[in-house]
Structure 1
Amino acid sequence: MEHWIRAEDPSAVGAVRRQAVELAERAGFDATLIGQTAVAVSEAVSNLVKHAVEGAVMVRPHPEAAATVELITLDKGPGMADIGRALRDGYSTSGTLGIGMGAIARIATGYDVHSLPGKGTVLAMHFTADKAAAPPQRASGVTRPIGEETVCGDAFAISEIGAVTTVLLCDGLGHGHIAAQASRLAVELFLQVRDQEPLAILDHLHRGLTRTRGGAAAVARVEPGGVTFAGLGNVSGWVAHAEGRQGMVSVPGIAGKQGAHLRQYAYEMPGYATVVLHSDGLTARWDPAAMPGLFSRTPAVIAAGLMREAGSRRDDACVVTARPGT
Structure 2
Amino acid sequence: MIPDQQAPLSRHIPITHVSAVHRAAQTARSVAFELGLPSALPDQAAVIASELASNLEKHAGGGEVYVQPALGAHGVEILAADAGPGMDDLARCLADGHTTTGTLGAGLGAVLRMATDFDVHTVPGEGTLAVARVLVPRGRNEPPYGNGRLGYLRLAAPGEEVSGDTLALAADGEEHTLLMVDGLGHGPDAAEAARAAAAVFAGDPHRPLPALLSAVNAGIRHTRGAAAAVLRVRPGLASFCGVGNVNAVLITGGRTRHLLSQPGIVGRGAVKPLVRPLDLEPDAIAVLHTDGVDARWSLGAGPGPALAPALLAARLMHRHRRSRDDATVLALRVDGGAGAA
Tell me the TM-score normalised to structure 1 length. 0.90
Q: Residue 201 of structure 2: which of 186, 190, 197 is its match?
A: 190
Runs (5+) with no aligned partner, structure 2 = 1-8, 337-341
Does residue 78 in structure 1 map to residue 79 in structure 2?
no
Residue 36 of structure 1 corresponds to which residue in structure 2? 44
Aligned partner of 2:12: which letter? W
Residue 15 of structure 1 corresponds to which residue in structure 2? 23
Residue 24 of structure 1 corresponds to which residue in structure 2? 32
Moved over 4 A (4+): 131-135, 147-150
Q: How does 1:90-109 map to 2 (within 5 A)?
A: 90-97=97-104, 99-109=106-116
Contact 2:284 2:334 in 1 (8 A): no
Q: How does 1:1-326 map to 2 (within 5 A)?
A: 1-65=9-73, 67-97=74-104, 99-130=106-137, 132=139, 135=143, 136=146, 137-241=148-252, 243-290=254-301, 292-325=302-335
Quote the Cα distance in structure 2 between the aligned partners of 1:211 and 1:171.
Answer: 16
Change (3 A) 1:189 1:105: farther
- Aligned with 1:4: secondary structure? strand
- Aligned with 1:158: secondary structure? strand
Runs (5+) with no aligned partner, structure 1 = none
Shift of 1:150: 4.5
Identical aligned residues as a percent: 38
Shift of 1:168: 1.4
Contact 2:64 2:318 in 1 (8 A): no
Shift of 1:243: 3.3
1:140-189 per-residue CA deviation (whole Å, 9 max, x = no partner) reads 32123345545332221222222122211111101222112212222222
Aligned partner of 2:43: which letter? G
Shift of 1:294: 4.6
Quote the Cα distance in structure 2 between the aligned partners of 1:115 and 1:55.
Answer: 14
1:27-80 per-residue CA deviation (whole Å, 9 max, x = no partner) reads 343323333232222212222232334512121111222x21111122222222
Residue 6 of structure 2 corresponds to which residue in structure 1? none
Quote the Cα distance in structure 2 between the aligned partners of 1:152 and 1:117.
Answer: 35
Quote the Cα distance in structure 1 between the aligned partners of 2:196 and 2:120.
Answer: 33
Quote the Cα distance in structure 2 between the aligned partners of 1:37 and 1:237.
Answer: 32
Quote the Cα distance in structure 1 between the aligned partners of 2:201 and 2:163.
Answer: 18
Quote the Cα distance in structure 2 between the aligned partners of 1:32 and 1:308.
Answer: 30
Quote the Cα distance in structure 2 between the aligned partners of 1:317 and 1:21.
Answer: 24
Aligned partner of 1:263: which letter? L
Quote the Cα distance in structure 1 between the aligned partners of 2:33 and 2:162.
Answer: 25
Tell me the TM-score normalised to structure 2 length. 0.86
Q: Which moved more, 1:204-213 or 1:278-287?
A: 278-287
Change (3 A) 1:140 1:158: farther
Contact 1:50 1:95 in 2 (8 A): no
Change (3 A) 1:239 1:189: same
Contact 1:226 1:269 in 2 (8 A): yes
Residue 339 of structure 2 corresponds to which residue in structure 1? none
1:237-295 per-residue CA deviation (whole Å, 9 max, x = no partner) reads 111158331121211111111032211111011113211112222222222224x2253
Quote the Cα distance in structure 2 between the aligned partners of 1:140 and 1:92.
Answer: 26
1:284-317 per-residue CA deviation (whole Å, 9 max, x = no partner) reads 2222224x22531221111111122322224322
Contact 2:77 2:131 in 1 (8 A): yes
Quote the Cα distance in structure 2 between the aligned partners of 1:37 and 1:271.
Answer: 34
Quote the Cα distance in structure 2 between the aligned partners of 1:190 and 1:177.
Answer: 20
Change (3 A) 1:295 1:53: farther
Paired residues, number: 324
Q: Which moved more, 1:86-95 or 1:201-210?
A: 86-95
Quote the Cα distance in structure 1 between the aligned partners of 2:254 and 2:159.
Answer: 35
Change (3 A) 1:234 1:27: closer
Shift of 1:214: 0.9
Change (3 A) 1:185 1:295: same
Bigger share in helix: 1
Quote the Cα distance in structure 1 between the aligned partners of 2:159 and 2:235.
Answer: 40
Quote the Cα distance in structure 1 between the aligned partners of 2:319 and 2:47.
Answer: 29
Shift of 1:209: 0.9
- Aligned with 1:218: secondary structure? strand
